[in-house]
Structure 1
Amino acid sequence: MTTDFADFDALRAAVGTELGASDWITIDQERIDRFAEATGDDQWIHVDPERAAAGPYGQTIAHGFLTLSLLVPITRQVMTVSAARMAINYGLDRVRFLAPIPVGGRIRGTVTLTSVTDVPGGVQALRHVAIELEGAERPACVADAIARYLR
């Protein structure tokens, strides 16, 4: 379920709130290969299933930055800000890759709104996103993502 913020005051009022979790996303080899092709990161642990089978994880794993790139659709599924004319990714304060995501793994993100501050032309929101790997005890990735929502 997506929470929409129709005005910036409602967004400010939600600070400290866990807004919810996205749907599950399956990380298949095709997605990993497409990411490797797009970024030029074709390390064998990601794209060579035969070699990776003999590696430390017994199979290929997703790129950390592939996981990070999914913050946008995950966050957008959990929250929208219709009060804004435009939203931009402003950056990241903290990112940690805590566990590898094996090919075929399913992930979802839980989004918590941690702060909203005024900036020229709008507001800046800090969202803590925890990327859960189905069946794992700890998150695969945690990130504090910054977005600017402009009037």
Structure 2
Amino acid sequence: MLADDLRTMAPRESDWFTLDARRVKAFADATDDWQDIHLDAEFASKTPFGGTIAHGFLTLSMLSAMSYQVTKGLTGFSSSVNYGFDRVRFVSPVRVGRRVRGRFSVAGVDEGESWLDVHWDVEVEKEGETRPALVANWITRFYLAEG
């Protein structure tokens, strides 16, 4: 059963994703967030970050791609949707060009008649750094397959 598989699932990591200038610019274009700290290398070099940084919300939105990888192979559901977050903290910025990956642990599973709400403890790790980019408690709703 899917609920039991999720409850006993060991923590999983996604592949690495590069938050390069192209991805940051595309995110800026999609969200109308063109702050200089994300796009202007000369300006950003004079900030405490020492260079351009990825949008926090870009880092957060990468959880979708990361979660596809960690839930690959699970069966018994027809679809899943983002149900929300209980907590999100942007712990430290991601410099443009760096790689990140997600570490997902199942914190709990709530069962309904035709759905499961999976509560994930998620940490987005930055390659070669000890402080994560973000930590979150994320809820994904899985709609159970019929039959």
TM-score by length of 1: 0.89
Structure 1 equivalent of residue 95 of structure 2: 102
> Distance between the aligned counterparts of 2:113 and 2:54, measured in 1?
38
TM-score, normalization by structure 2: 0.91
Match of 1:31 among 23, 30, 54: 23
Give the length in aligned residue pairs.
143
Percent identity between the two aligned chains: 43
**2:70 paired with 1:78:** yes
1:24-71: per-residue Cα shift (whole Å, max 9, x none)? Answer: 111111100100110011111001112111222111000000000000
- 1:8–1:83 CA contact under 8 A, matched in 2: no
1:133/1:139 contact within 8 Å kept: yes
Q: Which amino acid aligns with 2:107?
A: T
Give unmatched runs, 5+ long, in structure 2: none
Select 1:12's aligned residue among 7, 10, 13: 7
* Residues 7 and 106, structure 2, Cα contact 8 Å, conserved in 1: no
In structure 1, what is the equivalent of residue 116 of structure 2?
123
> C-alpha separation between the residues in 2 aligned to 1:87 and 1:93?
18
Q: Which residues of structure 1 form unaligned runs of 5+?
A: 1-5
Q: Is the 8 A contact 2:124 2:135 kept in 1?
A: yes
Q: Does 1:69 align with 2:61?
A: yes
Map of 2:141 onto structure 1: 148
- Cα RMSD (Å) of the superposition? 1.4
Q: Is the 8 A contact 1:87 1:147 kept in 2?
A: yes
Q: Secondary structure at the match of 1:85?
A: strand
Q: CA deviation at 1:7?
A: 2.8
